[in-house]
Amino acid sequence: MKKFNQEIVKTFKNKTILITGGTGSFGSTVLKKLLKFNFKQIIIFSRDERKQDELRINTNNNKVKFVIGDVRDRNSIDTAMIGVDYVFHAAALKQVPSCEFYPWEAYKTNIVGTENSINSAIKNKVKKFILLSTDKAVYPINAMGMSKALAEKILQARSKISSKNNTILCITRYGNVMGSRASIIPRFYALAKEKKILPITDNRMTRFLMSLEDSVNLVIHALVKGKQGEIFVQKSPACKITDLAKAVGKNLDVDVITKVIGSRHGEKLNETLVSKEEMVRAIDQKKYFKIISDNRDLNYDLYENAGNKKSINLEDYNSENADQLNVFQISKLLKKIKIDFQ
């Protein structure tokens, strides 16, 4: 751990970091961590001027630069990327219902925006580019997952040729981030506080539980250790949604009432972070899975005639077969994070 911390210090020393979608939950959390290092500059790139203003006031650091722009606009991301060493690409439409109702918007942000950001990074000779992805990109059934899956495919395809440009492209993938704006937890807290019914899709439903701090540590791990085209997944505990609801009630000291409402738009019963097919290439690093890149180049003959002889008769890594937390353990975990349910 000490050696890794030294690597982190060395990695960020006198470097310029760009965070797309930098005013979101991840961006504001990673910014706090990065402020501890001897960086040259941190650029917060987003289109929300109100959130930028709030973050600027709260940060109060002249080494942090705020740039208004949109990853959908190649010109604006090109301008922001000049002189940048590392990119954390967090800009995305992340809520399943929003993407289901407006899939074209998900396409423009999650697919076109990612391609723009990758191309800009390569053009500006960025050292390393980390794409933040999601469990929903594995076996995708909704527009959000499909758009993020294609974003991953774009990065992996470019990683096979971007080595000529010396830009390393990597992916981090994680499930439900507790307390983020896309999480059900703040809503459960708000409903339970008002003694309202908590809606449950299915009593069998499970979800991974990951803190924002864990998501930041995963991205930094990928930045320090990642090689071309690799995907990093943190092993996380999981739980039943029914137990999560009970834990929320326990923390508020109220008796929660739940109601099974049935499947919602684009919703899965369980989350999957590593597919069966990816497990063939996955390396178990105790705390993480590292999915190495398929190093065969973009060659149609190899694609058609040179398969991987390893068996794919493996189990995927999902929220049903991961370590399950009980109500007491979930309650304890929730107390460690800040939940905004006002």
- Which residues are part of the catalytic machinery? 136
Structure tokens that stand for 185 in this block: 């937890």
Distance CA 131, CA 251 (A): 34
Contacts (Cβ under 8 Å, ≥6 apart) of 231: 133, 152, 170, 171, 172, 173, 278, 290, 291
- Residue 134: which of 150, 120, 119 has the closest Cα? 150
* 203 in Cβ contact with 263 (< 8 Å): no
CB environment 127-146: b (16+ within 10 A), e (fewer): ebbbbbbbbbbbbbebbbbb
Distance CA 206, CA 61 (A): 41
Polymer length in residues for the chain: 342
- Residue 163: which of 20, 15, 293, 11 has the closest Cα? 293
DSSP 8-state code for residue 286: S
Residue 235 CB-density burial (10 A; 0-12 exposed, 13-18 middle, 19+ buried): middle
To which residue do tokens 């439903």 refer? Answer: 205
